[in-house]
Structure 1
Amino acid sequence: MLTLYHYDRSTAAQRVRLLLDEKGLPWKSVIVDTARGDIDQLPENYHEINPKGLVPTIENKGVGIAESLIILEYLEDAFPETSFRPTSAEDRAKMRLWMRRIDDGIHVASRTIGVCIVNRFIYLEQGAEKIRTYHEKMRDHVRRDNDRVNIEMGLASPLLPDALKRFRALFEDMNTRLEGHDWLAGEAYSLADIALVVYLRRMESFMMAPLWSHLTALNTWYARIAERPAYKTAVIDWGDITEAKRTEHGQGAFPEIAKLWMA
């Protein structure tokens, strides 16, 4: 059986759970919450299967595979009976171009926004010593260096304006595509939709949804996916243990976030 190392609110884990549930694959859950500095709870030898020590990681037949977008492609290759790749080579290329945007800055921008609005408060509650130890052991140095700036400066972080700019451009580009199509690539629900929809939920959880309320096609697409049974089991039912803090700090940050979004 597949084993997934993950935690509730991780966007990367959400997209893997979405594909697992869409394919109807049985899997074992192992919770590894790497988001709060709790590095001591990593399973033994976890870095051997995920060098960065992050989630998600999936194990199958004794082999561990890291990086959520690679996991999506792996699951398509290993379990092709129900496919979420477009049928034509051209549409598959379009699917991968949408997914490429995640590694081209969107995922890093997502963390910047999350830390600046909410997570900095969670880290600060744990004390400077724990934060220092957490960052000393963090193997992703871009993540570490960005965190240090964003935790210290919050909404004044110099990284925040560009992160918001990237998301505004992404959502507007998605809306333009979706004005004439139901899905991002080809004529069917694909890995591109699965990979990107999790960011709508994440930004929504920071109370930011009014910023794209006018993007009708994007919101219709989001609602269409939210109605799928797998979305409920893979995303909604897992919940978010930081929901109250996201609501509180998201509402407090909204005036400044809106100003930066519109700049």
Structure 2
Amino acid sequence: MENTSSASSHILDLFRLDGKVALITGSASGLGAGIAGALAQAGATVAVHGNRRAATDTASTIGGTAHAFRADLGSTEGAEDLFSQVKAQFGKVDILINNAGTIHRAAAEEVALADWQQVLQVNLTSLFQLSQLAARDMIGRSAPGKIVNIASLLSFQGGIRVPAYAASKGGVAQLTKALANEWAPKHIQVNAIAPGYFATTNTEALQADETRNRQILERIPAGRWGQPQDLAGAALFLSSRASDYVTGTVLTVDGGWMGR
């Protein structure tokens, strides 16, 4: 008879990240901080990143070899600045979680070009820049590299009063597939997670709006807002050897929203 304890230990080992260096952008708080903590618990050395809000508190909470970095991904030079800092500190990047993002809410006819460009730079262009830098670092290694992009329900839906955000997140989903096609033969898996409605600072206005909050909860089969820890398992899976044959997918973590 098979030793079920041994089989269990073996499959769980696939989720271990010992010896791996993970860079998680936008991880000073919220979903990014939750992902960083989960990857650290699985054994990874984590590089946490912030800009307007420093990631030092997150790094301190995680402890161990966690280290905080600061860079402005709203600048065209920010991605290279951040990646260079992490490389100088840790020597490599095995896992890249592109979580940093911004949103601008306004009627489409009133969106200024500068605001449009800023959202696209942070949400899509810097993501491509970091993915490119990471891939160059990963190509040629024997162990697979992992890139996980944070997409959105607005990768599938249009939303209201957030045209730049919707465009950028639609781009994230398509870019994920394009990079996966090119880099799978080079042992790099590229996937995305599309979170549903999560209780973070980005959604405070929606949570505070009694009508919108009720409408959102009525649409979510799970009947609640997501919490950062709800994203941790998906992020760990896509960052680990357990997902070595998964690439080019956009995984929804939304309490059932897209199935409604």
* TM score, norm. by length of structure 1: 0.31
Higher strand share: 2
Work out which structure has the larger RCO, using CA pairs closer than 8 Å and 6 or more positions apart in sequence.
1
**TM-score for the superposition, normalised by structure 2:** 0.31
